[in-house]
Amino acid sequence: MSSAPTVPSAALDVDLRTALDDPRRLIALDAVHNFRDLGGYPTDDGRMTQWGRLYRADGLYRLSGDDLDAVRRLGLRTVIDLRTDEEVDLRGRFPIDYHPVTYHQLSVIDTTWDRLPRHEVTERTPAEFLEWAYLRMLDARAPRFAQAIGHLADAGVLPAVFHCAAGKDRTGVLAMLVLGALGVRHEYIVADYAKTTEATERLRAWTRREHPEAMAGIADTPTAFMASLPEAMAGVLDTICTAHGSVRQYVRHLGVPDHHLHALEHALLA
């Protein structure tokens, strides 16, 4: 069982900082800002997640030109899109005509947060809101998360990427479940989630350059919608482990069978 989740301090452990800043971590693109490799994270039993097997990302519908060429070189076989039907209809999806993949759309929220009653956002601090929203997401869409993990465990699906709009919330929750089920140390899960803060700054810079008219909308967005606060993910991990003993046990509770967990270990750990 993993130790109790902790919020990484400002002075991160050297090994943790080295893993986070590994040059293989970020897939540097122009219009996609949070495409990251989930390799290089240690597990409690001394193994390591493999590089080049599983990625997390943001709006892959923006891929084109040099960005698309860079992603093609990753050899992706599977894309899991966690956005709603409405988001896909409005924005489009991964360009499978130019890069054929197996594509799964599995919406894990009923509606985007901008449509929530305002008091559900403002009556909580940003960290409280994020923790509440992630736990609510898990309660409401447990079968979808189990289905996504099942897809990743299938034979021949890797390399794979899962994504939402910003690669922060829905993507962050699925990353927590997958990494936690593999036994990745909790401080690495929390720090990986918090690393989206850097991507948010890249998104702001890109929007300022390419779509300056949209900057006013970003400025008016509630803080929680743009934040990746480590204490929020640490709180989710604490709640899960208090109730179920470990993330792996919780993933079993969601309906993921042991043979899928063993398949993930075989495919993703070294």
- The Cα 176–Cα 8 span in angstroms is 15
Residue with tokens 């130019």: 98
244 contacts: CB under 8 Å, gap ≥ 6: 250, 253
**b (16+ CB within 10 A) / e for 3-14:** eebbbbeeeeee
Residue range 152-166, pLDDT digits in tens: 999 999 999 999 999
Domain ranges of the chain: 14-268
Say if domain 14-268 classifies as CATH 3.90.190.10. Answer: yes
- The Cα 93–Cα 22 span in angstroms is 29
Residue 161 β-bridge partners: 55, 79
Lowest-pLDDT range, 3-12, 24-33, 227-236?
3-12
Q: Using pLDDT thresholds of 50, 70 and 90, give the confidence band for residue 44.
A: very high
Residues 169-187 have a mean pLDDT of 98
- The Cα 181–Cα 134 span in angstroms is 17
- The Cα 113–Cα 121 span in angstroms is 9
Residue range 179-225, pLDDT digits in tens: 999 999 999 999 999 999 999 999 999 999 999 998 887 777 888 88
- The Cα 136–Cα 241 span in angstroms is 16
Residue range 14-23, pLDDT digits in tens: 899 999 999 9
